[in-house]
């Protein structure tokens, strides 16, 4: 058995295989759902209804998609340069920490000044969190997968320390949480009375910005080249290490913005459950989007829909909401497999 590159993948295969992958995910999830005794079709109906069945559901899905767009972009940018940033969770939390440090009254400024400042500090906080592992990678050759993964645990403990110490809300009845950000630091709601906030627009702007960087700038070209073949890039005169560090700053910064958006746009303060794994889900989003920044938006909405829909479904049917995580993880595996088969064909001989 061996793999043979397809000379020219047909348009049909390019679209049919990923579609088959998603179908396979639903068949597999349907099987798991049936184990609980529920009817898979009615359960998926409930998921769909919960994700997109009403105006409320749709807004809820877009709200959940917002941090996923940021973390998805973070993974997409890094993976394109083969910088394996698995630490978006840590970068998100550091962005959130920066937001509450500067946004809870330290800077009594009007919104139009304060919010740009918060955008900058949250980006920097996320960027610097990834700069460490990226520096260790280029300077000492330390594998960034392990360091970014381990940093996730360290940062969560650091946040826990802050929430029980310096950043603890004195009026919080003893709960480990920070003060609410001041009104001037809040991102406006997009529609009065709904949870969807300006962070979603920021996420869309970020996606377009990354797309422009990727396709229209020298850095975008260099990141792709370094990811494709670092040796050839070095030979061509690129400063590969410097490109890696720039990629890290961009990727970490995007993840940091997810933290700002969740705090300033949605939750108002920082708690230890700010992110239910948005950093890890961002990896899935990026892979489903084939690392394309605009695809990330669509993939994030799809993944968010599964999460929001499954939450609503599990309230109505007796199926554990963990089915959403299973679907998202199997979508990742199915999609990378399907994409491989659009580029290669299997030869038995």
Partner 1 sequence: MGALELLFSASLWAAAIRIASPLIFATLGELISERAGVLNLGIEGIMTVGAFAGWFTVYQGGDLWLGVLVAALAGSAFGLLHAILVVPLGLSQHVTGIGITLFAASLTYYTYRLAFPEVTSPPKIEPFQPWAVPILSDIPFFGEALFRQTPLTYLAFIAAGLVGWFLYRTPAGLAVRTAGENPAAVEAQGIDVTKVRILAVVAGSALMGIGGAFLTLSAFNSFYFEMVNGRGWIAIALVVFGSWRPGKALLGALLFAAFDAYQLRLQQLAGAFVPYQIFLMLPYALSILALIIMSRRASYPRALMIPYRKGER
Name the burial class of residue 32, with classes exposed (0-12), middle (13-18) and buried (19+) by CB atoms within 10 angstroms of its CB.
Answer: middle
329 lines the binding site for partner 1 (CB under 8 A):
yes
Tell which one of 71, 147, 177, 264 touches partner 1 (CB under 8 A): 147
Q: Decide: helix, strand or coil at residue 108.
A: coil
297 lines the binding site for partner 1 (CB under 8 A):
no
Report in angstroms how near the CB of residue 321 gets to partner 1 at its nearest: 8
**Close Cβ partners of 80 (under 8 Å, ≥ 6 residues apart):** 214, 223, 224, 227, 291
**Close Cβ partners of 9 (under 8 Å, ≥ 6 residues apart):** 342, 343
Q: Give the helix ranges, DSSP H, for the chain.
A: 11-35, 40-52, 55-80, 88-103, 111-140, 144-164, 199-216, 218-228, 230-235, 240-260, 278-288, 293-316, 323-343
Binding-residue pattern over the window 31 to 70 for partner 1, x denoting contact by CB under 8 A: -x--xx----------------------------------
Which is nearest to 180 in space by CA: 107, 71, 111, 270?
A: 270
Nearer to partner 1, 113 or 157 (CB): 157
Interatomic CA distance for residues 288 and 302, integer angstroms? 10
Stretch of 8-16, 96-104, 184-192, 314-322 lying at the interface with partner 1 (CB under 8 A): 314-322
Tell which one of 86, 125, 249, 303 touches partner 1 (CB under 8 A): 86
Tell which one of 167, 223, 243, 328 touches partner 1 (CB under 8 A): 328
Tell which one of 108, 110, 141, 193 touches partner 1 (CB under 8 A): 141
Residues within the interface to partner 1 (CB under 8 A): 1-3, 32, 35-36, 79, 84, 86, 136, 140-143, 145-147, 149-151, 153-154, 157-158, 160-161, 164-165, 280, 283-284, 287, 318, 320, 322-323, 325-326, 328-330, 332-333, 336-337, 340
């Amino acid at each position: 058995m061996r793999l043979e590159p397809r000379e020219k993948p047909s348009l049909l295969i390019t679209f049919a295989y990923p579609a088959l992958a998603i179908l396979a995910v639903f068949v597999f999830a349907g099987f798991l759902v049936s184990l609980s005794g529920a009817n898979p079709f009615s359960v998926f109906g409930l998921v769909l209804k919960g994700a997109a069945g009403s105006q409320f559901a749709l807004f809820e899905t877009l709200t959940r998609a917002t941090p996923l767009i940021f973390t998805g972009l973070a993974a997409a940018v890094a993976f394109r340069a083969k910088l394996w940033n698995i630490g978006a969770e840590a970068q998100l939390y550091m962005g959130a920490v920066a937001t509450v440090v500067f946004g809870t009254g330290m800077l009594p400024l009007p919104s139009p000044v304060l919010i740009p400042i918060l955008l900058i500090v949250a980006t920097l906080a996320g960027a610097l969190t990834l700069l460490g592992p990226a520096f260790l990678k280029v300077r000492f050759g330390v594998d960034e997968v392990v360091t970014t993964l381990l940093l996730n645990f360290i940062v969560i403990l650091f946040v826990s320390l802050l929430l029980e110490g310096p950043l603890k809300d004195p009026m919080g009845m003893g709960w480990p949480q920070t003060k609410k950000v001041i009104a001037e630091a809040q991102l406006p709601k997009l529609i009065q009375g709904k949870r969807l906030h300006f962070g979603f627009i920021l996420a869309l702007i970020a996606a377009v910005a990354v797309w422009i960087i990727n396709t229209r700038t020298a850095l975008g070209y260099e990141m792709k080249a370094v990811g494709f073949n670092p040796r050839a890039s070095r030979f061509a005169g690129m400063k590969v290490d410097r490109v890696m560090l720039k990629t890290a700053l961009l990727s970490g910064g995007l993840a940091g913005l997810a933290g700002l958006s969740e705090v300033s746009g949605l939750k108002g303060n920082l708690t230890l459950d700010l992110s239910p794994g948005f950093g890890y889900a961002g990896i899935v989003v990026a892979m489903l989007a084939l690392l394309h920044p605009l695809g990330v938006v669509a993939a994030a909405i799809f993944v968010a829909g599964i999460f929001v829909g499954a939450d609503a479904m599990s309230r109505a049917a007796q199926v554990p909401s963990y089915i959403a995580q299973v679907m998202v993880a199997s979508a990742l595996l199915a999609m990378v497999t399907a994409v491989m088969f659009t580029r290669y064909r299997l030869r038995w001989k």
